[in-house]
Amino acid sequence: MKTRLTCPCGETMVGTDEDDLVAKAQAHLAEQHEGREYDRDMILFMAT
């Protein structure tokens, strides 16, 4: 299970599970990188 993702901007997100990580990553994108959207598969592809 992948629960950690570091954004190229330097922010690291840690989720309790993959669903939580995807939600945190999508929230981060909406707040910090307006206009960028990634789906679940892409987020988990980049996660560890």
Domain spans in the chain, listed from the N-terminal domain onward: 4-46
Global pTM reads 0.93
Output the pLDDT for position 43: 98
| Angstrom distances, CA of residue 23 to CA of 6, 41 | 14, 12
Output the pLDDT for position 15: 98
Output the pLDDT for position 21: 98
Average pLDDT, 10 consecutive residues per value, the chain (48 residues): 97 98 98 96 97
* Nearest partner of 26 among 16, 13, 17, judged by Cα: 13
Output the pLDDT for position 5: 98
